[in-house]
Chain A
Amino acid sequence: MTFRLTAPEAKTIKTLSFVPPKEYTMSGGWSLFTSPKRDLGVIKLLFCWPCGTAHKAAPTLARATQTLRLSGNKNLSAEEIQEGFEYWGAAANLDVGLLSSTLVLQTQKQHLEQSLKWLMEQGAEPVFPEKELSVFKQVETASLLRRMQTPRYWSSRLCFEALYGKDSADTRFENPEDIENLRVAELKNWFEKHLRFPAARLFASGDFGDEERAVVESLLGTAAPLQQPASFSQTQNPEFKSNIRHGMEHAQQVSLYMGKRLPRLTIQEMQTASFVNMFLGGFFGSRLMQDLRETRGLTYGIGSGLTPSAHGFTWYINGEMNSQNAEKAAVATREIMLGLTSSPPVGEELEKARRYVSGQLRAGFDGPFSLPAKWQFLLQNNLPESYYATYMDRIWSITTDEISVFADNYLRPDSFTLALAGKLS
């Protein structure tokens, strides 16, 4: 059994191995990106509009419009339209992010023509029936009120509002009255301006080849010129708050949320930020997870990340813990942030993160449906096709000093807002 004493050699991953999507301009002017065909029997068609909640004229409008775009037209009700998809085993999944709106048509290959035809016919001219908007308001208000009972909701909301102000494009939190104030005419206007089918980019993946492309081409019609992503007016910086506390009587835990505004970064800075974040709380082996969870057992999970904002990124840290551990966790988190400057990763820690991130970067391209989201990210952020390959290079070339300097520039704890919500001791 001595063979068990020695770990098999783990090879480093330094290259990516994927076939990039092909871009086609179809006869109607549509831009279509296709992933390599896989023999699965199913297809995903992703329609993506460069418009999300950050482009809002009023809170919730972008979300409500996208959610209700298949809720009825002058001939058919929401139920009849939905039934048409389900009959073919298809689904049209709608979503809205900060900077984009998406519709994913999931269908069996054998039903591609029927389900796409149905989508294009029934989804082109929505009327947003009053009844459907009324149900939307009722369901969404109840759901919002339930979320408002959780510590996590309030820690993140109060942190974002402190960072960006309540009315900024980046404050994605809505109130019951925002939902109540929605009007059909506003939804129609929003749809006309931003969400018509021809204004979308299209990505196909799964069992999608030349025959399927011909089917899509025959059904799409003529595209409108793609919209440029809207620009946003710079929001006023609210007065900086370092500490926010929000007590919740019924809560059993405390949610910790720390956040900081980052400006728009260069490609290399984005890659550096992404890699530095891994050491902070970006994976299980990060300093936050290892210290707060694995060494001290203070939390089930704590992590950090970078989320896009209208003008750059927000760097955030979030976790839930016992009330008596919350202040302890906040102090430890600050120490870990400072530690990335004073004792940046070297040797084994640096090597392990490089190996982990490079392996995961490559694995992220695995599977038949992985490419569309990655290409959507590139197009949305005006990044070159080489972004992922250069990130791989950056992982292996970044130095300890660069990490330390970057952490000193962007991760000083006193530049972050800390919000604690829940059962405060």
Chain B
Amino acid sequence: MISFSRFVLPNGLRVIHHYDPDSSVVVLNTLFNVGARDESSDKTGFAHLFEHLMFGGSKNVLSYDKAVENAGGSNNAFTNNEYTNYYISVPAENAETAFWLESDRMFQLNINPQTLEVQRGVVVEEFKQRCHNAPFGLLWHHLRGLLYRKSPYRWPAIGEDLSHIENAMLEDVSAFYKKYYHPANAILCVAGQISEEETRTLCEKWYADIAPTGEVNNNLYISDPLPKTRRFMETEDPSPNPAVFMVWRGPAFQDPESVALEFFADLLGGSEISPIYTLWVKENLVFNDAAAFYVRSHNEGLFVLYGVLNEGETHAHGEKCLLETLSDAIAGKFFTERHMERVKNKATSALLFEKASLINRAQKLCYFENIGEINRVQDEDAVYRNVSLQVMLKTAAGNINPDAAAVLYYHPKQSS
């Protein structure tokens, strides 16, 4: 149970308060309803670039980071396809500093050519570090590209192409800020050792005068029809191991079926006792790593199945092994009521450990508010408990068609 209260300021800012007397800090978590799906196809990576610019100072705050550090606090942010999330944690006695900092950059961000130039350079290096220097670093570029044709979900949050970031202009950035970074398109969670009364007072003082500069994001996007047949691509990667990745689209976070698919993925390939791992890594030595997982998200989820091949194994054989086990699992060959109890107990434990962190609780509250169902934050475990073996298998059969996978083969890059 996460206790909370909620109120809305006249400018549309939704505020959630969560009290934790055991904490010595106060966390302000701000979620803006804008992510990579809101970018145009020739300016991808923009939401993430903008996340960096949010630390460049604002009208009354010369240096955001210096002010956070001066208050003994810490901060960070992340961007995904659906939203952008910022958090700051400060000692409880310095809570008002966090209100000042977070509200001022919502009030009037200091967007200037110098900050843009520096952060473009930083983000370009981040792109190279994450995507070019890491094994399988462009995985999500390839998988999303296979699954989607027109939908803005076809590129990852880091951006489709480096040139989009390199060419970002000041006027684009300013327009992005005006459209999305205003109180009506944001959710603020104030959590920790701070009373509801003080939270209301500080919100009134620091946020009430910020006018909305745009509409609430309507979150309407072009969607692609589900693939009906196998889609395929192959590519090279500096990793020395060839690999097979497969992905399918699945139900959205709010749909209880997404939990059923998450459980199915966990049982199929979520640990070293799963059929995918025991059959193909431990017994038949086809792969040196193999797993399945389901990524739950607001619009729709992604079911991923993969294996990293051992020397001498072919991609076609690897794909056949994975699909054979997938089909057997959907047909009910592997899982029993004991498996269901196991996967539910694991999910409950993960949920309880996740909720032990104050920042996690604040982010969870913002997430559920953003999908319009904040009270369901209390029901997660009940949703887990309601998934039966029959429902799980039926959901898997209804959503994962082995003949309509998006399939990616990785080959080791040949030295020139």
Contact = CB atoms under 8 A, between A and B. Distances in A.
Residue picked from A250, A351, A355, A422, most chain B C-beta under 10 Å? A250
A4 B103 CA distance: 9
B345 A300 contact: no
B349 A251 contact: no
A83 to B, nearest CB: 5
B118 A38 contact: no
Nearest 9 A-B pairs (CB), nearest first? A359-B72, A297-B121, A89-B345, A252-B132, A142-B288, A89-B349, A356-B69, A8-B96, A300-B126
20 contacts: A4-B104, A4-B107, A10-B70, A10-B94, A12-B72, A42-B349, A86-B273, A89-B346, A89-B348, A89-B349, A106-B349, A111-B345, A138-B310, A139-B289, A148-B240, A253-B132, A294-B118, A320-B125, A320-B129, A367-B357
Interface in A1-51: 1, 3-5, 7-8, 10-13, 17, 38, 40-42
A315 to B, nearest CB: 22
A38 B353 CA distance: 12
A interface, by DSSP: helix, strand, loop or mixed? Answer: mixed
A7 B91 contact: no
A151 interface: yes
A150 to B, nearest CB: 6
Interface in A241-290: 249-253, 283-285
A64 interface: no
A366 B90 CA distance: 12
Given A253-B133, A367-B357, 19 more contacts: A4-B59, A13-B72, A78-B272, A78-B273, A79-B272, A89-B348, A107-B349, A108-B345, A139-B289, A142-B308, A150-B133, A150-B135, A253-B129, A297-B117, A320-B129, A356-B69, A359-B94, A363-B74, A363-B89
Contacts of B128: 252-253, 320, 322
B342 A86 contact: yes
Contact of B22 (A3, A38, A149, A320): A38
B371 interface: no
A295 B118 contact: yes
A146 interface: yes
B239 interface: yes
A42 B118 contact: no
Contact of A300 (B69, B125, B273): B125
Contact of A145 (B72, B241, B357): B241
B252 to A, nearest CB: 26
Given A4-B107, A360-B74, A135 B349 contact: no
Main DSSP-derived SS at the B contact region: helix
A363 B91 contact: yes
Interface in A80-119: 82-83, 86-91, 106-108, 111
Interface stretch (B171-179, B277-285, B398-406): B277-285
B149 interface: no
B121 A298 contact: yes
Nearest to A3: B205
B381 to A, nearest CB: 10
Interface of A: 1, 3-5, 7-8, 10-13, 17, 38, 40-42, 78-79, 82-83, 86-91, 106-108, 111, 131, 135, 138-139, 141-143, 145-146, 148-152, 206, 249-253, 283-285, 293-300, 320-322, 351-353, 355-356, 358-360, 362-363, 365-369, 422
A131 B282 contact: yes
B65 interface: yes
Contact of B100 (A7, A148, A206, A320): A7
A69 to B, nearest CB: 14
B328 interface: no
Interface string B67-103: 1011111100000000000000111011011011001
Contact of B134 (A10, A150, A297, A368): A150
A6 to B, nearest CB: 8
B25 interface: yes
A351 B66 CA distance: 11
B23 A366 contact: yes
A143 B281 CA distance: 13
Interface residues of B, number: 78
B387 to A, nearest CB: 15
A362 B134 CA distance: 35
A284 B88 CA distance: 14
B353 A42 contact: yes
B358 interface: yes
A362 B91 contact: yes
A19 B289 CA distance: 43
Interface in B19-50: 22-25
B122 interface: yes
Interface string B276-315: 0010011001001100000000000000000010100000
Contacts of A108: 345, 348-349, 352
B281 A135 contact: yes
Contacts of A322: 125, 128
Contacts of A89: 342, 344-349
B342 A83 contact: yes
Interface in B231-290: 238-241, 271-273, 278, 281-282, 285, 288-289
A8 B133 contact: no
Contact of B288 (A139, A150, A253, A359): A139
B416 interface: yes
B413 interface: yes
B118 to A, nearest CB: 4
B72 A358 contact: yes
B117 to A, nearest CB: 7
Given A297-B120, A322-B128, A138 B288 contact: yes
B335 to A, nearest CB: 13
Nearest to A12: B72
B185 interface: no
The listed residue with most B CB atoms (<10 A of its CB), out of A3, A38, A138, A145, is A138
A352 B271 CA distance: 45
Contacts of B24: 17, 362-363, 365-366
A150 B357 CA distance: 33
B60 interface: yes
Nearest to B130: A300
B218 interface: no
Contacts of A294: 118
B338 interface: yes
A252 B121 CA distance: 15
Nearest to A206: B356
